[in-house]
Each structure stands twice: as C-alpha cells, then as structure tokens.
Amino acid sequence: MALLLSYAAATVAALFCIMYFFHRRACCRYPLFTDYPILGMLPQLLFNLSRFHDFFTEILKEKGGTGEFTGPWFTNMNYLFTSDPLNVRHVMSTSFHNYVKGPVFRDIFEVLGEGIAATDSEAWKYNRDLIHYLFKQKKFEVFLEKTIHKKIKNSLLPVLDHVHQQGSVVDLQDLFNRFTFDNLCYSVNGHDPNCLSVDFPEVEIEKAFNDAGETIFRRHVVPKCVWKLQKWLQIGQEKKMTEACKNLDEFIYACIASKRKNLSKCIEKNETEETSDVDLLTTLMREGKEKGEEHDDIFLRDTVFNFFVAGRDAVTSALTWFFWLVATNPLVEAKILEEIKETFGRNEKKAEVLSVEEVKKLVYLHGAICESLRLFPPIPLERKEALKSDVLPSGHGVNPSTVIMFFLYSMGRSEEIWGEDCMEFKPERWISEKGGIVYVPSYKFVAFNTGPRTCLGKGVSFIQIKMVATAILHKYRLQVVEGHVAKPNLQTFF
C-alpha cells in the first residue's frame, strides 16, 4: 500500500511539473533565451552577468528588440525586455497612466521612500511640482553656478595638479564621485564634506551609497524569497544594505536637524532672503512654512535622498564615460579644444572655469556629451509595471502586473535608431548643417527619461558636465592606462 501511495504521489508530481512546464511555455511566447525546468532563464543570466549589458544587447538584437525573461519557477521574476523606441513612447507617454512604478518597484527600491523616483499618481505629481518649483528659483540657479565654479577651482583642479605633479594614476570615477557628492551636499544641504581632496579620504557615506546600489541590482537577479530571507536573517548583501541605510539616514536626518535649527535662528533675526541660505533643503523648509504646509522629517529625508540618487550617479557616470571616450578619440578632443579657442579666443590666460552662459555656446561639446550619454546612459535600465492589459506597438501583449524593462544601453547601440555607425563615437551626428543641435525625440534618446517623467535636472546636469569638461580639457590631456578595460558598472541600476 505504501509503495502504491508513493508511486501515485510521484505520478501526480510529475504530471503537475509537466503541466506547469507547458503553462510557462504558453505564457512565455517570446523567450529571450533557454527556459530551463525549475531554474528558468536565470542560469544563462548568471553565467553572463559579468557582461550583462552587452549580453542583453546581443540577445535583444537577435529577437527584434523585445523578448521575455522568466526566472525560476514560482519566483515571479518575469520581465518583458525591450529596446524598441515605439514601445518606450507608448508606455512612457501615450499610455502613461496605465504604467506605474508599482509595489514591486517600491519593495526593491524601498530606500527611496516616498520620494519622486518611487511614487505614482498624486504623490508623484506633488513631488514633481514641488521640485520643479525649487529648480526654477533664480537665486538657486545663481547659487548652483557659484557652487560648481568654486568646487572646480578650489578642489577638482588642485587635486588634478597634485596627481600630475606626483606622476600618479587617478581613478576618474572615484574622482568624479567625490566631486559630485561634495556639490550635491552643498547645493542640497548647504554643507561641503570635502570628500574631494588630495589625500582621497575614505568617506563612509559614499561607501553606503555604493553598497545600496549593489544591493538594488542583486534584488533584480535574485529571487525575492531569497533576498527577503537574507534581510530577515541579516546576512550577506542584505546586511550591508541595512547598515548602508542606517548610515544614510543618520547623515540626512542630521542635516535636516541642523537646517531646522539654522532656519529658526534666521526667522528670529528676521534675516532677509538675500542673506539667507538658498540650498534646496532650506528653500524646501522655508517654502513649507510660508504656505503653512510644513514638511515633516520623513518627507524631507525622502526628498533629499532622491536628490542624491538622481544627481550623484548620473553626473558621475556621464563625466567618467565622457572623458574615457574623449581620451580614446583624440580627433574629438582636438575639435572640442578648437571650438573653445574659436569661441573665446586664443588667450591662454582665459579663466580656468567658464560660466554657465559661456558653456552654452559650445555646440560641438554638447554633441560630444550627448554622444557619450547615448553610448553609456547613466541609468541603463528603466522599469514600469502595467495596471491593465495592453498591446505594445511591437505587437507584444501585456498582462496586468507585467514588468517592462526598457534597456536604454541597448537602444544606444541600435542600428534602427542611429544607423550602421551606431557603435562609433561621433559628436557630428548631433550637429545640423547650420551648426545647431539636431533634435532627437526623447523616446529614442532616453538618457534623461521621456514623457511626463522626463528628468527635471537635465539642464543642471548638462551645465555641470560642460563646466567640468572645459576646465579639465583646457588644462590637461588625459590618457587611459594601457591595458585597462572599461566596462559598465552593475551598480548603476540605482
């Protein structure tokens, strides 16, 4: 009897597995690659993890730009990957209200709280309107230009001078991470931590950002039940995440407490706007008081954290890849320098740091930066979740709760979008015959997102990149260490 029961149980289990196997086959109509029993497509992904960006680019090209990824059975790690610009426009603009960040995103990106990057509907709109108001303050624009100018002149160039005198090698990504973090701290909180100095001090808060970014990526490729268990047990990468979040929160809440104290003193002294701080945190607090909508510490924490996430990695990545591309394309470097000389004369005593209005005149430089962002977008993946069933322009069906992953890195390497020379670094593709900037629809060039969620800091980012680029190229010639292989960092999914 026991033997018959065991046989019956095995038969039922086998039938269940077979039925589930065919069910997955029916649900996954456009597989990206081999769907193994039980493990799904995860083995092939993990095997190619070290070349994740190029691996998916090659696969998407083979599949016509869109395909499905299914994870291990019963893990719900199912994504629809696409690099089709028409799909991007449909989801991000045409059917914007049907596609949201969703609860899965907020679970993975819990560190973002209720900030603009993680919210939907009215909460997102409120955050966006508020940030748009802050960025449009003329006094903040002036303050920001002075902040960038001062950091380049007093920190960035002296550090590079020191490196040059020592004849040593410098990690540009680390250099720009420090530069961007100092700038963000001062423009957001009014405090410069001086991470960028000749001794390159170890900064705990910087390490916390990196640990959080790595954990965010791992949560995308590890089954939810696994990372949730690690989080509960406080082991592995999730333990690092907990420690990172603790350090980040302590840092931000300390800044908020300090600002509240300073703002109270300013109000007591009736200090005028002209003499008060204009950093974003102070402006946000002051604006809340004036409107009778004083924001609590949690709201301020989430807003500040989202500022750091949006500004730090984007500018760091853009600057690092820009200088790598320029250093490996000497003709482009020569043309940028020639444009600077032709625009501002050949006076070698020209100011080391150009102003905002001056860098806006450099068309070829703008094209080179766009080209860099095309090939190496700061955020290579953008995700959305469907609320209702839909059909994409590519013909692929979408069910409720389907997670769509736009692979921006792959889009920048698409012959259909950019032509047969899409792998070449050609700033000229951005310049018209009349010498102006060529307009490219944002759903094709998605470095700063597209549709209603287009990045509000796009203009600020371009200005910062241009000011740094001209200051460095005016004074130095950069060279890539012989034999060094540069490749995208997996942590840039943060």
Q: How many helices (H) and strands (E) does the chain have?
A: 20, 7
**DSSP designation for 439:** P
Look up the domain containing 337 and give its range: 75-493
**DSSP designation for 187:** I
pLDDT digits (tens, 9 = 90+) for 138-154: 888 888 899 999 999 99
How far is residue 149's CA from residue 457's CA, in Å, rounded to a whole number? Answer: 18
Does 116 map to a domain? yes
pLDDT at 219 over 50: yes
Alpha helices in 292-383 (DSSP H): 297-327, 330-344, 356-359, 363-375
pLDDT digits (tens, 9 = 90+) for 350-375: 567 899 999 999 999 999 999 999 99
Confidence label for 3 from pLDDT (cuts 50, 70 and 90): low
pLDDT at 47 over 90: no
Does 133 map to a domain? yes
Residue 17 identity (one-letter amino acid): C
Does 354 map to a domain? yes
| % of the chain beyond a pLDDT of 70 | 89
pLDDT digits (tens, 9 = 90+) for 252-298: 999 889 888 877 777 666 655 444 568 888 888 887 776 767 788 99
Closest CA to 318 of 196, 431, 440, 467: 467
For residue 76, what are the contacts with CB-CB under 8 A and spacing of at least 6? 224
Does 390 map to a domain? yes
Confidence label for 76 from pLDDT (cuts 50, 70 and 90): confident
Confidence label for 221 from pLDDT (cuts 50, 70 and 90): confident
CB atoms under 10 Å from CB of 391, counted, come to: 10
Give CA separation, 439 vs 296, 368, 370, 436, in Å.
Answer: 42, 14, 11, 9
Does 7 map to a domain? no
Number of domains into which the chain is organized: 1
Q: What is the CATH number of the domain that holds 168?
A: 1.10.630.10
pTM of the model: 0.88
17 is annotated as contributing to ligand binding: no
Does 31 map to a domain? no
pLDDT (average), residues 26-54: 81
pLDDT digits (tens, 9 = 90+) for 437-464: 999 999 999 999 999 999 888 988 999 9
pLDDT at residue number 27: 55
pLDDT at 14 over 70: no
Task: Please state whether 449 falls in left (phi above 0), alpha (psi between -120 and 50) or beta.
Answer: left
How far is residue 162's CA from residue 198's CA, in Å, rounded to a whole number? Answer: 7
Does 54 map to a domain? no
Does 325 map to a domain? yes
